Each structure stands twice: as structure tokens, then as C-alpha cells.
Amino acid sequence: MEKPWEGRFTEKVDKLMEKFSESVSFDKKLAPYDIALSTAHALMLKKQGILKEEEADKLIEALNQVKKEIEEGKFKWKTELEDVHMNIEKRLTEILGDLGKKIHTARSRNDQVVTDVRLYTRENLNEILSLLKTLKVEILKKAKEYIDTPFPGYTHLQLAQPILFSHYLLAYYFMFDRDEERIKDTLKRVNVCPLGSAALAGTTLNIDREFTKELLGFDKISLNSIDAVSDRDFIAETIFCLAMIMMHISRLSEDFIIYSTYEFNLIELPDKLCTGSSIMPQKKNPDALELSRGKTARLYGDLMGILTLLKALPLSYNRDLQEDKIFLFDAVEVTKITIKIITEVIKNIKVNKDRALKLSKANYALATDLAEFLSKEGIPFRDAHHIVGRFVRFAIDTDKELDELSYKDFRGFLGKYKETLEKKYSLEELEKIYKDLVDVKKAINRRNVIGGTALNQVKHVLKLLEEKENLK
Ligand code: ARG
């Protein structure tokens, strides 16, 4: 097939080279943006008197026809025509004859392709923003459902202190909220129009770049044509934003995988997002979560891929850049579907409240409360820590939880401080104090600092977030 650029060539392109260099198999995704771009370009050429009115009108009509053919699946994509741009242009010339070729006046595929990719990126980042919003809203709803449910809190994956499940879940709200902010910031650099930069130096024709920028909804035009055709920072940045979202999702996935095991038994995953084993009839595997965790690797690969593609690439456009779309498209598709799946997980999980309550106070999780009480009574924290440490040892040896013991058991470990305490409080008062100190709900509510897990603090934060997300 005859190529639009074949004028200076005497030899036909090698078949293997055709196969090697084509991008239409993946960049046909850009067709809607390419057609929007060409339509805006034709309108500008008409306004500037570069194309006659009826020429531009016919081109736009034909572009609409091509768009329809593509949407209806009737368009015949040809790999011999390399990429999406040349496929569409070739079809225009089939429809319009020589006039079709005029669409490529005052532009190059170099500014065309990067403008298409910017339009694609803008649309998809906006879609991802709305998916993130839905995810955040589901997190808020789930937090509300379990607003006062005690849950074990971990550090080093060792039971540390009791928290509220709502507080735990809101931690993820904040991660996704930062992801949203990051995307909004990235969009400022995505939404810049390179069209008119042509191959790398601009064009001798009298174009109006502001006009096409407006028609295509860009915020600004690029001011350096060399940078404009070779800049792919916005792709690297976009993939970074998405990799960060996936990293957050992978942490959530890992938590839920662990929490849903038989051994932890803290949450129940919805059957519809799990699968069974082909040999073990009893199995219910957390595949949605495992795949989310696994697909995060794809994003890191995409990020490393785009950065490597750009490393030491001389200015300006080089054909290497054709590969940018492989990483971008993969990152976008994987992130979109993973956010959707994780949103379903959040919507459908159930907390096993009895087990959560039991674990939240297990393993002497309230020992810190005892030590902090002693330090409030004037006992140096180091001594308090030591006293409680020895008491915990005693509890372990006698196989008792802290709430199965009493002040009577504790006082023997106080040493010289026993007298101080018992001078100030009666034994009865100390029994009551001890009981309160090892009560989970009270312990949670004692973490009454801004950002802490006390119920009133979490309620306050939840209310702020609901307002922020325009809920109720
Ligand atoms: N398919 C190419 C790409 O994606 C379009 C630009 C080709 N430009 C060129 N000078 N060969 O980068």
C-alpha cells in the first residue's frame, strides 16, 4: 500500500519492518481524540483562510463519517498504514480524493500524536478522579456503619493497641484523597496544547494556535515547539500518580487478605469477589485482593518503562516515543478496573465484631494505658513502663488477660510507688481505676487528641469529610 510519506523512497518497506513499526494495533484507542483534533484543526484552517470554506466543511463532514464508521466497528484498520493518524487520513482521501490530504496542512504527526495523547490523558484522569470519589464515598459509608466498632490496631503486624474500625478505614480515605489532589495538580501540566508545533520548529503557515487550543478545551498553549513535541513528562507523572493509587490499594488488599484469614477472622469478604479452589472444596480465596496487589507490579513496570524510554533521549521527537502509549494505556486501564473492584470490596465487607472486640484487647493491648496512668500520677514513665512490663509477664505466666486481673494483682508490682498511690486513692477507687484502664471502649476514648481514635474525634473527622464530599 502506498504510504503518505513515500515520495523520497525508491524501495518498498520491508514486510517485517511494517510489522515492527506499526502502532495502530494499540494507538487506534486515540481515534476519537484524533478526530476531535482534526476537526478543530480544519475549523482553524478555514478561519485563517488556509482552507476554503467548502473544503473545510467537507473535511469535517468526512471526519464525522469516519468517526461513525469507527464507532460502529465498520472501519478497516490497516497495519500497513502504521498508525491511527495515517489510517484516518487515508480514509479521508478515499472519501474526498485529494482534498482529504489537505487535513495535514500546517501540522506534523509529531505535534498531532502528543496532542491526542494529552486529550486521552486528560479524559482518563478525569474519569479516575470520579472513580476515586466513589471509592472515597464508600469508605466514608463503611466507616459510618462501623463508627464505634473496636478493632485491633497493629504495628509490626503485632497487636498494638485497640482502635476503632472506622478510624482504621479512614486512614485509607486520606491516602486516596491525596491521590486525588496529586492528579488535579498533574492535570495542570497535562492540559497544555502542543498543536501548531508541527515537526519541531513550528510552521511557516499563518495558523492560530489560540483558536485550536480553545476548541479543544486546553488551558494554555505550549511556548517551545521543540519541548512540545518531545515532552512526555506528563505521561511519567500520570503513571506515577496511578502507581501511587495502586500502591495504596495494594496495602489495603494486604490488610484485608490478612484480616480475612481463618486465623485472624476479623472481616468477611463477599463471596462474589472471591473464588474457590479446584481441589479443596472448603477454600474461599481472596482473589480480588490478590490480583489488586499483583497488578500493582504492572504499574511499577509501566513507570519504570516510561522513565527508561525517556532517559538520554536526544531532542526532539524520536520514534522511540511511539512506545510511550504502551505504558500509559496499560497503567490507565489497570488502575481504572482495580479502583472499581476495590470499591466493590469496601462496599461489601463485613466486620466480625465479636472477634474484633476480643482481639482488640488481647495480647495485653492495654498495657500502655496502665503505664500512662502511672506517669500521670507522677511516676517517671521509665519506671511505669518497667512496672507494667513485669505485671504483663506475670499475666502471661498465669495465662490471664489484663481484664481478668485486678488492682489487687497489680499493686504488688508498684514497689515504692504503691504507697504514693494508696495514700491518694482508696483501694476501692483504685479497683475502679484499674477496671476502667483495662476497658477497651474507655481505652479507645482516652485517645482523645485531634486525629486520635477516640469516638468523638473520629465522629468529628467523619463529619468534616462527609461535608467535603457533599454527603447528606
Ligand atoms: N505513531 C507515531 C507515534 O506514536 C506518530 C508520530 C510519528 N512521527 C514520525 N515522525 N514518524 O509516535
Residue 4 in this model has a pLDDT that exceeds 80? no
Ligand 1 environment, Cβ below 6 A: 23, 27, 83, 109-110, 113, 317, 319, 321-322
Nearest CA owner, ligand 1 atom 11: 319
CB burial string 4-40: b at 16+ within 10 A, e below: eeeeeeeeeeeeeebeeebbbebbbbbbebbbbbbbb
C-alpha pair distances (Å), 431 with each of 198, 362, 369, 388, 437: 82, 20, 15, 16, 10
CA of 333 to the centre of ligand 1 (A): 22
Q: Which own/partner contact pairs does 341-344 have at CB distance under 8 Å and 24+ positions apart?
A: 341/273, 341/288, 341/291, 341/292, 342/135, 342/249, 342/252, 342/253, 342/288, 342/292, 343/131, 343/134, 343/135, 343/138, 344/270, 344/273, 344/288
Q: Which atom of ligand 1 is nearest to the CA of 82?
A: 1
Q: Is the pLDDT of residue 68 over 90?
A: yes
| Nearest Cα residue to 234 out of 196, 189, 266 | 189
- What residue type is 257 in one-letter code? I
Element (H, E) at 400: none
Which numbered atom of ligand 1 lies nearest the CA of 109?
Answer: 6
Task: Report the mean per-residue pLDDT for the chain.
Answer: 96
Q: Where are the domains of the chain?
A: 6-105, 110-205+217-358, 359-468
Please return the burial class of 194, using the count of CB atoms within 10 Å of its CB with bins 0-12, 13-18 and 19+.
Answer: buried
pLDDT band at 7 (very low <50, low <70, confident <90, very high): confident
Residue among 230, 316, 322 whose CB has most ligand 1 atoms within 8 A, to mutate: 322
**Cα–Cα distance measured from residue 117 to residue 123, given in angstroms and rounded to the nearest whole number:** 10
pLDDT band at 458 (very low <50, low <70, confident <90, very high): very high
Which of 82, 84, 110 to probe ligand 1 with, by most ligand atoms within 8 A of CB?
110
DSSP, res 377 = T
CATH architecture of 359-468: Orthogonal Bundle (1.10)
Give the model confidence (pLDDT) of 245-293 as tens digits: 999 999 999 999 999 999 999 999 998 888 877 777 778 889 999 999 9
The C-alpha cell at 228 is 512540545
Q: Is 301 exposed, middle or buried (0-12, 13-18, 19+ CB in 10 A)?
A: middle
One-letter identity of residue 171: A
Centre of ligand 1 to C-alpha 114, Å, is 9
Beta strand 158-164 with 192-193 is unpaired
Residues linked to residue 351 through DSSP beta bridges, in sequence order: 267
Could you tell me what percent of the chain has a pLDDT over 70? 100
Distance 109 CA to ligand 1 centre (A): 6
Give yes or no for a contact between 199 and 108, defined as CB atoms under 8 angstroms apart.
Answer: yes
d(CA 218, CA 191): 5
pLDDT in tens, 73-101: 999 999 999 999 999 999 999 999 999 99
The closest of 185, 197, 204 to 230, measured between CA atoms, is 197
This prediction has a pTM of 0.93
The ligand 1 atom nearest the CA atom of 83: 1
pLDDT band at 298 (very low <50, low <70, confident <90, very high): very high
Spatial separation of the C-alpha atoms in residues 52 and 57, rounded to whole Å: 9
Beta pairing, strands 350-351 & 267-268: antiparallel
The answer on pLDDT for 382 being more than 70 is yes
Cell numbers found for residue 300: 511499577
Closest residue by CA, ligand 1 atom 4: 322
435 Cα to the center of ligand 1, angstroms: 73
Q: CA torsion 354→360→366→372, rounded to 10°?
A: -120
The CATH code of domain 6-105 reads: 1.10.275.10
Q: How sure is the predictor about 1, in pLDDT bands with cuts at 50, 70 and 90?
A: low
* Nearest-angstrom CA–CA distance, 136 and 466: 10
The CATH H-level (homologous superfamily) assignment of domain 110-205+217-358 is Fumarase/aspartase (Central domain) (1.20.200.10)
pLDDT (tens digit, 9 = 90+) per residue, 111-159? Answer: 999 999 999 999 999 999 999 999 999 999 999 999 999 999 999 999 9
Each residue of 156-184: pLDDT tens digit?
A: 999 999 999 999 999 999 999 999 999 99
Q: Give the span between the Cα atoms of 89 and 35, in whole angstroms.
A: 10
For residue 113, the CA-to-ligand 1 centroid distance in Å is: 7
Main-chain phi, psi angles of 448, to 5 degrees: -95, 55
Ligand 1 atom with least separation from CA of 325: 4
Q: What is the pLDDT of residue 3?
A: 75
Query: 200 CA distance to ligand 1 centroid (A)?
Result: 12
CB 415 within 8 Å of CB 387 = yes
Q: Which residues are catalytic?
A: 156, 277
Reference 384, options 368, 366, 398, 400; nearest CA is 368
pLDDT of 201 > 90? The answer is yes
The average pLDDT across 399-422 equals: 95
What local confidence, expressed as pLDDT, does residue 41 receive?
Answer: 98
Helix (H) or strand (E) holding 267: strand 267-268
